[in-house]
């Protein structure tokens, strides 16, 4: 088959040029689309990462951790100090209450000295009308779990003058130490 190119060279050139422009246009559009695709892909990728690493959240977490750390240290410091002080303390209310419950009408305390720093921890000047009352009281105090080394230091027994029933006046110094380990055991 014989083909005869009847198109004039000028038009041929125009067609060629138009083809070139179209190619250039397509190439340009393709390039721009590629760049936009790269850009948006990166943005989407970053957004995904941002979800995992939220700077504000991290800062908040760090600040909270630092606050907690400071609080824990401060509490620990004071708690240890308080425990140390409390361990050496004596619960005087319990001791006085127990002593008070063991006094009776025939047994009077003229003076009670209690001290956590001196030995003995307790010194009681007691007045009664029989040695038995005093011994009973001593036995009760000894039986309680907060005392140790209970002893009667001085005891003066005098018969009251003009007394037909020979009632005695017993003045005694009862002393004891506080057994602070009993408190710890109870705890």
Partner 1 sequence: MNNKILLIWFSTLLICFGVTFWLILPQINHLIENSNLQKQNTLNQTANNNLDTNINQLAKDFDLPNLLEIANTYIPQTDQSANLKTVLSGMANQAGLTVTNFQNQTQPTDLNVNTNGFTINLTGKTFQLISFLKLIESSTQLFSLKNIEIKPSGQTMTTKISGQTYWSNTSNQNLEELNNNENLIETFTKFQSLIKK
Minimum Å gap between C-beta 162 and partner 1 is: 24
Q: Kindly list the distances between the CA atom of residue 65 and the CA atoms of 54, 56, 78, 79, in Å, as whole numbers in the listed order.
A: 16, 14, 20, 20
Backbone φ and ψ of 174, nearest 5°: -100, 130
Q: How far apart are CA 144 and CA 96, in angstroms?
A: 12
Minimum Å gap between C-beta 58 and partner 1 is: 7
**Residue 104 lies near partner 1 (rule: CB under 8 A):** no
Nearest CB to partner 1, comparing residues 11 and 166:
11
Strand partners, 171: 127, 156
- Please identify, among the stretches 81-89, 135-143, 144-152, 171-179, the one whose residues bind partner 1 according to the rule CB under 8 A: 81-89
Please state whether 149 falls in left (phi above 0), alpha (psi between -120 and 50) or beta. Answer: left
**Residue 184 lies near partner 1 (rule: CB under 8 A):** no
For partner 1, how many residues bind (rule: CB under 8 A)? 62
Which of 156, 184, 183 is CA-nearest to residue 169? 156
**Site residues for partner 1, window 112-131 (CB under 8 A)?**
112-118
35: its two tokens: 């760049």
List of residues contacting partner 1 (CB under 8 A): 17, 20-21, 24-25, 27-28, 31-32, 35-36, 38-40, 42-43, 45-46, 49-50, 53, 55, 58, 65, 68-69, 71-86, 89-93, 96-97, 100, 108-118, 187
């Amino acid at each position: 088959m014989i083909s005869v190119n009847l198109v004039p060279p000028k038009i041929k050139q125009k067609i060629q040029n138009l083809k070139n422009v179209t190619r250039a246009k397509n190439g340009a559009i393709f390039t721009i689309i590629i760049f936009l695709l790269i850009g948006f892909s990166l943005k989407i990728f970053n957004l995904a990462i941002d979800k995992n690493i939220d700077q504000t959240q991290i800062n908040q977490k760090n600040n909270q951790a630092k606050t907690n750390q400071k609080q824990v240290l401060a509490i620990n410091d004071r708690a240890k100090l308080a425990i140390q002080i409390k361990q050496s303390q004596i619960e005087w209310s319990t001791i006085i209450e127990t002593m008070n419950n063991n006094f009776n009408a025939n047994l009077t305390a003229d003076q009670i000295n209690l001290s956590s720093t001196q030995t003995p921890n307790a010194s009681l000047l007691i007045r009664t009308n029989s040695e038995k009352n005093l011994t009973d009281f001593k036995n009760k105090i000894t039986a309680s779990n907060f005392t140790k080394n209970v002893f009667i230091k001085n005891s003066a027994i005098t018969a009251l003058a003009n007394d037909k029933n020979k009632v005695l006046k017993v003045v005694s110094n009862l002393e004891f130490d506080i057994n602070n380990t009993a408190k710890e055991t109870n705890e």
